[in-house]
Structure 1
């Protein structure tokens, strides 16, 4: 068929119209799917610092421990992927809010590092708000600090691997919105599934008072670890008399002033020094943190030991950031940052250079 410019134009228009007609159902389907995902995921959106490190996201309609839906994040075999689900909730400043979610991870070596929930407080303009309490006076007198993000804690896990994440927070007085973010980051070939997510107003938690005592005393004139330990008994007695719940003793107290080397002062944990302080903790019904020198096989650590009111070692933290003198003295740095449950709340420890 001979074509003229008009017929060629008409032919192109017809082809375009046919292609558009064929494509229209597909486009409508894509729009419907996007709308459906937005509706069923209840306003949650996805985000990543950069597209090139963006993981994969999926809303699983029948996911979660009860089958009511879940938000998935998947990482492939590339390193450094980082992404999160995000949603904004209205809040009223000064009121208390209970955050709760459940999550299940697959192939995540360190959940505390790679899987977390975060809450950001914002005003009507989406800007960070200031904390209500006073800030540091040493370098910023009179300046109100910005309210820091909240990081809800992991609670119990059920047999199927679902972990409850929850905490109660008071919204800063100028906050009108809370941004909730649910993360997967820095884990290869990994997945997290978030479900049952809520941020609801609640009653203020009951007041909790904890009395803390720290002992600033440098032993001298003694020759053994046991002699140094006994020097601290009067201080612990005085703290107990003032109804202290927790007494914190100095770093490497069994070494200080004795002339011993790290190796000579080192002992196993539990060991003679923890046995001594355990009796005092049990006698006074309080928690003790003692700075000791630990030996495990051929390794020596600068360690803080937590002893409970039942007279048992609750746990220990090995100093991770060592000064040159300790490195040159053969101390090995720790690699973990444990958190311990006590009757007044969770407790973590640092030693000297760690801070």
Structure 2
């Protein structure tokens, strides 16, 4: 197996892929040896091309071009030999045009296989609570998008451990669901790598129902000793309960609602700064005539990093006149990217 990670060796040989598109009339496709094209069905197969001078480094571009009709889906594929138990770094770059949602339509994935081209099992045993006789299969890896340069080339990369029984990794470079769109992939590599450096984050959850309070701020104060306990355990992030400024007060959501930032975020901001941790707290927000069930994220400097308005409201909250949110913010923190969801959101795929 090559360990250099250079794409140059791949470009020395050319393979003729004599597979025309469904419409016919395409010239035989030239591509580096080992690369093939595929689609779930011929009737939704896009057009493929290879530009020897394409890509971000000018050493080759794998192109997929969709006609202006729905449902087209195709990918370039190549297999690399791997050794089970070792780590590998995948990297590729793409530049797309006329693609409305690149994160959905421009996808790279890595499929682990054995010598016979079959999927391989996970190294860890599967859960036995719902599938006692099942064998967990090592699902495909989906490398993450890392950012784009000034020329519009977007990096997709990640480090992965090959399952113990894997002997090959099939890299697929996709374009799907993008009528009239086009993508050029380039600078593709899969090389053996050191394992990623561990970076542990300590999380704390506070399971507590406020009691005996008279005001929303009374409820907030009851969490102070619990947050202090989390800090003593060196927690980096403490997550509190939903609508904690409403629970147990015997008041309506409207009576407990407040502006954000407001008194509650200011109070938890002081605790976050005192203990040097992040805090997530469930509050009730008023914005003009509208009331929201929200989760706020406060940083260790005591500042409000942002809020998420619960999207999936249960019947009781709808009947109480709450407004659903319509955004899914993701916050950059020193711990990494953090997204929030609240209770009933967990039953629906949109938030997760």
3-state SS of paired residue (1:221)? coil
User: For the pair shown, which has the larger CA radius of gyration, 1 or 2?
Assistant: 1
Q: Corresponding residue for 1:173? A: 164
Query: Is the Cα contact below 8 Å between 2:80 and 2:190 reproduced in 1?
Result: yes
Deviation at residue 168 of structure 1 after TM alignment? 0.9
Count, aligned residues: 323
TM value normalised by structure 1: 0.81
Given the alignment of the two structures, is residue 241 of structure 1 paired with residue 235 of structure 2, yes or no? Answer: no
> How far is the alpha carbon of 1:95 from its aligned partner?
0.4
- 2:147 counterpart of 1:153: no
Q: Distance in 2 between matches of 1:82 and 1:267?
A: 48
1:107-134 deviation digits (Å, cap 9, x = unpaired): 3333322222222222222222222234
Q: Does 1:105 align with 2:96?
A: yes
Map 1:195-234; keep pairs closer than 5 Å: 195-234=186-225
What secondary structure does 2:31 align onto?
Answer: helix
For the aligned residue pairs, the C-alpha RMSD in angstroms reads 2.6
Partners in 2 of 1:186 and 1:296 — Cα distance? 38
**Which residue is 1:254 aligned to?**
245
Paired residues of 1:317 and 1:338 also in contact (CA < 8 A): yes
Indicate how the Cα distance of structure 1 residues 124 and 236 shifts in structure 2: closer, same or farther if over 3 A, else same: same
> Structure 1 residues 216 and 87, CA, compared in 2 at 3 Å: closer, same or farther?
same
Shift of 1:352: 1.7
Give the direction of change, closer, same or farther, for the CA distance of 1:173–1:283 in structure 2 (3 Å limit).
same
TM-score (norm 2): 0.82
Describe the SS at the equivalent of 1:227: helix
**Matching of residue 34 in structure 1 with residue 21 in structure 2:** no
Aligned equivalent of 1:89, options 48, 56, 80? 80
CA–CA distance in structure 2, aligned partners of residues 190 and 353 of structure 1: 36
- Separation (CA, whole Å) in 2 of partners of 1:305 and 1:205: 31
**Larger helix proportion, structure 1 or 2?**
1
Counterpart position of 2:13 = none
Q: SS at the partner of 2:267?
A: helix
Q: Secondary structure at the match of 1:52?
A: helix
Contact 1:102 1:164 in 2 (8 A): yes
Q: Distance in 1 between matches of 2:307 and 2:94?
A: 28
- Secondary structure of 2:147's counterpart equals strand
Q: Name the structure 2 match of 1:313.
A: 304
What does residue range 182-201 of structure 1 map to in structure 2 within 5 Å? 182-201=173-192
Tell me: CA distance 1:190–1:256, structure 2 relative to 1, closer, same or farther (3 Å): farther
In 1, Cα distance between the equivalents of 2:170 and 2:39? 15
* Structure 2: gaps of 5 or more residues: 1-17, 19-23, 347-352
Out of 68, 72, 75, the position equivalent to 2:63 is 72
Structure 1: stretches of 5+ with no match in the other structure: 1-26
Matched residue of 1:264: which SS? helix
2:294 is the alignment partner of 1:303:
yes
